[in-house]
Amino acid sequence: MGWTPLYLNMADKKVLIVGSGEVGSRRCERFLDAGAKVVLIGDHVNDDLVQLGAIVKSIDELGLWIDWADIVVAASGDHELNNRVGEMSGDKLINRADNPNDGNLIVPSSFFIGDVQICIFTGGKSPLMSKELRKKIQKVIKPEDIYQLELQYYARNILKQNIDDQKIRREYLYKILEDLKIKELLNKGDLESAKKHASTIIDTIDQA
């Protein structure tokens, strides 16, 4: 297939989006939220995107803004225009919203559950199934799983500050993960009490 999932730090990255329809607007908001600088070329640009920081430019300046961009998104309803954008982009990272395989960058369906970001990529086979899979995943991951994530982060930081041996750190993280009292507290949503109990478990470490 050739594709592999990656996370890219978008802070101050320069993104050109050609097309201001539903897909282009959604991509625009997503990149702006991630801290990118976004130039949007389209006929009818949502004012909300401008307020978020999008800069609107004319199609007459297409070449100039393609040269400027780190990432190009071709998301217009005009297939010929999308092809033109792709050809002009050369070796740049380009997302083809109309035909992902004509580009070299995918912007997958993604969503957050707490601090967990989940992306779904079907290879462009079925946006409908992407939505259905999202619903199933949202049912599987429970609030207590997100609390456990926060607890593991808390405990891991304490252990890293005090324990050099990675095997010992891992052992105690598993103890915290499997502790029945902690599970009970997290099921009740009592993260603070779970942190206190995790600290008592960590305090039992015998480095000798």
Q: Where are the domains of the chain?
A: 14-107, 109-141, 143-203
Length, in residues, of the chain: 208
Superfamily of domain 14-107: NAD(P)-binding Rossmann-like Domain (3.40.50.720)
Report pLDDT for 208: 41
Per residue in 23-65, pLDDT tens? Answer: 999 999 999 999 999 999 999 999 999 999 999 999 999 999 9
pLDDT tens digit string along 86-98? Answer: 999 999 999 999 9
Mean pLDDT for 54-83 is: 97
**Given a cut of 70, is residue 200 above it in pLDDT?**
yes
